[in-house]
Amino acid sequence: MAIIINTTLAINGVLGLLVFVLVVYLIDTLTRYQKEKQIYGMLSKTNVNRKDIIRNNRLLKNYNHTLKRFFQERKKENYAPIVFYLTLVVCVLIFMAFISMKQILFAVLAPIIIIWVLNKIFFLLLVDVNEKVDDQLPYVIDTIIKVFSKYGDLKSVVYETSQGIDEPLKSRFESLVRRMLSENQEKAIMDFADEMNNIWIYSLVFILLSYQGDTKKEEVIVNLRHLATIIEKENSLKNSSVTDKRYGVVLNYAIAILAGAGEVANILFNPVGKDFFFGSMGGLLCFVIGNGALVMTIILNIKLASKKGRR
Last residue of a domain, one of 126, 160, 193: 126
pLDDT digit string (tens) for 145-195?
888 878 778 888 888 888 888 888 888 888 888 888 887 888 888 888 888
Q: From residue 79, give the alpha-carbon distance in Å to each of 181, 247, 304.
A: 41, 29, 26
Whether residues 225 and 181 share a domain: the answer is yes
pLDDT at 58 over 70: no
pLDDT score at 229: 92
The whole domain housing 210 covers 129-233
Q: Count up the domains in the chain and report the number.
A: 2
For the segment 229-242, the average pLDDT, to the nearest whole number, is 84
pLDDT mean across residues, the chain: 78
Q: Are 46 and 9 members of one domain? A: yes
Mean pLDDT of 276-286: 78
**120 and 141 fall within a common domain:** no
One-character DSSP codes across 224-278 = HHHHHHHHHHHHHHHHHHHHHHHHHHHHHHHHHHHHHHHHHHHHHH-HHHHHHHH
**Which of the listed residues 108, 126, 144 is the one where a domain comes to its end?**
126
Mean pLDDT, rounded, for 89-115:
85
Q: What is the CA radius of gyration of the chain?
A: 27
